[in-house]
Amino acid sequence: MIKVIVTGAAGKMGKEVCKTILDDPETELHGAVDTEEVGTDIGDLLGRKPVGVRITSLEKAISRKGANVMVDFTHAAAAMDNIKAAVERGIHLVIGTTGLTEDNINEIRKLCSDKGVNAIIAPNFAIGAVLMMKFAELAARYMNRAEIIELHHDQKRDAPSGTAMQTAKLIAPKIKAPKVESSEILNGALGGVYENVHVHSIRLPGFVAHQEVIFGGVGQVLTIRHDSIDRTSFMPGVLMAVKAVSERPGVTVGLDKIMDL
């Protein structure tokens, strides 16, 4: 039985993770951590019967011995403190928090190496989104221009999304794009630029998580799009990572590594 602590448990993603851990026969919800709803049974938050796990601080959750994995869906400002605390206790990490910098990831690598702890960090846990990025990487070998449009709910704190940045990193080395000659009448109209790939972020109510990569070629356009219409779309990937992390030494970045893509 894999015993799991979920940080950000009172948030939208955190609650979905808690449901998933509770419902899977191979996992057990060992702790639920948040700064909101402290003392509330997670079952009550999920609209279920009480399950005997109350929202508490991370310090209290990790003081209960036996946790194997911590799943972090918080925000970048809090995630590093959570990660450090878990690593000190020898707890493996599954990190879905976006907005982490390259310096953060390098620090996580060192922390894990020093303590013999494993981590899986993924910008997106939806299987379809991982495939979208892989297909885009393949298409970039043959199409000479590309732009990324990502659309998320208006509560998302970082822009561009981690998925958009990862996609840009995958396709940019393969894109041989000439400089865009258009002048911006409105500053930022052409989006942000990662190397030679323009990235556009949209934040509106009604969206969950969506991305399209648009390739332009001679006489043709190719669009690769993924839509998460519900947060349950991320849960198979989260569960996959929870079950795999103890067997993957060091830090693994990207769910594609687990999927052998």
Instruction: Please state, in angstroms and rounded to a whole number, the distance separating the CA atoms of residues 7 and 84.
Output: 13
d(CA 202, CA 187): 16
User: Is the previous residue joined to 50 through a cis bond, with omega within 30 degrees of 0?
Assistant: no
Q: Within its chain, how far is the Cα of 190 from the centroid?
A: 26
Closest residue by Cα to residue 211 from 146, 161, 150, 152: 150
| Residues with Cβ within 8 Å of residue 157, at least 6 apart in sequence | 75, 76, 99
CA–CA gap between residue 43 and residue 191 (Å, rounded) = 43
**Residues with catalytic roles:** 152, 156
Q: How many helices (H) and strands (E) does the chain have?
A: 8, 12
Contact of 210 with 225, CB cutoff 8 Å = yes
